[in-house]
Every structure is written in structure tokens, then in C-alpha cells.
Homo-oligomer: A and B are copies of this chain.
Amino acid sequence: MAQKGRDTVKQRMGKFGEEAPACVCFNIRKAARAISQLYDDVLRPSGLRVTQFSILAVTRRLGPVTVTRLAEETVTDRTTLTRNLKVLGQQKLIRITPGLDRREREVTLTDRGGAALAQAYPFWKKIQAQVTQRLGPDRYRRLLSDLRATLALARMN
């Protein structure tokens, strides 16, 4: 009875505590933190983090590739990738050379980078197998598919 036409903030957000756990973003981020820690932990003996492992792997697959293309493939902001590549370049795991179009830079996996990737591979394989096994094949496929859908949705705008 204190107010009628106008809700208080408290009322408008009355269900907020219950809604927060439903936030798609919050939940994906939580899962990302947890799963990243797991993968990083298993990859640790290799000296590569999962982010670095992923970048090297994609670079290996795409051969000499521009920064922008690599950013698209990894769904990373280009400027973020620049910083990530810097670390890998310092460790001589990749090489960055000017492209024919002199605005472009081509990223190439070095021998050293290939060796690092090969060395890390069994660790990745092990944890990946464990995770997929524990999720079960159905849920695993479903999750990847739903994540793809979420990704597509997020980039839709």
C-alpha cells in the first residue's frame, strides 16, 4: 500500500537472486574458467597453456596465415591475438613475417613450435579423452553443438 503505480527497486529485482544462476554468460564463463584450469593443469608439463596450444594448433592447420584470419578462426579479438602471438613469438614457437600485401603479417609455426605442439599433444589427448568419456559421447556432441549455436547467436548482430 505504500506505493501503487511505481515499483521499488527491490520489487523490480525481487527475483534477481534466483535469475542470476540462469545467466547464460555467467555459466559459460564459469565452465570456461574451470575447464581451462583443468586443461592448463594437465598441459603444464609441456610448458604450453591451453590458449597457446590452441593458437599453435590452428596455425599448424592453416599454414602461413594472417593475424586477422587467425583471430577469426579462434574467435579472438584481433588485438588480443596480437598480444598472445607476441608471447609465442618471443619463445620462437611461431614466426611473423610481412605478407605480400604489406599491410598483412603472416604467422607460421616454427620447427620449435611444431615440436612444442607434438610434445604437448599426448597431454591434451589424455585430458580430452577423459573429459569426453566422463561427459559421455551423446552429451559431449550435444554440448559442442549447443556451444556452436551459442557462438553463432552471439556473433549474429
Contacts and interface: CB of A to CB of B under 8 A. Distances in A.
Interface in A127-157: 128, 131-132, 134-135, 139-140, 142-144, 146-151, 153-157
23 contacts: A12-B121, A16-B61, A16-B121, A17-B57, A20-B54, A20-B58, A22-B144, A23-B128, A24-B144, A28-B31, A28-B36, A31-B147, A33-B76, A35-B150, A35-B154, A37-B154, A131-B153, A135-B149, A135-B153, A139-B146, A139-B149, A142-B146, A143-B146
A87 to B, nearest CB: 17
Most central of A24, A37, A135 by chain B CB within 10 Å: A24
Contacts of A123: none
A51 B37 CA distance: 18
Nearest to A154: B34
Contacts of A75: 30, 33-34
- The complex is assembled from copies of this chain, and their number is 2
Chain A: interface size category: 35 or more
A39 B157 CA distance: 12
A92 interface: no
Interface in A3-27: 9, 12-13, 16-17, 19-20, 22-27
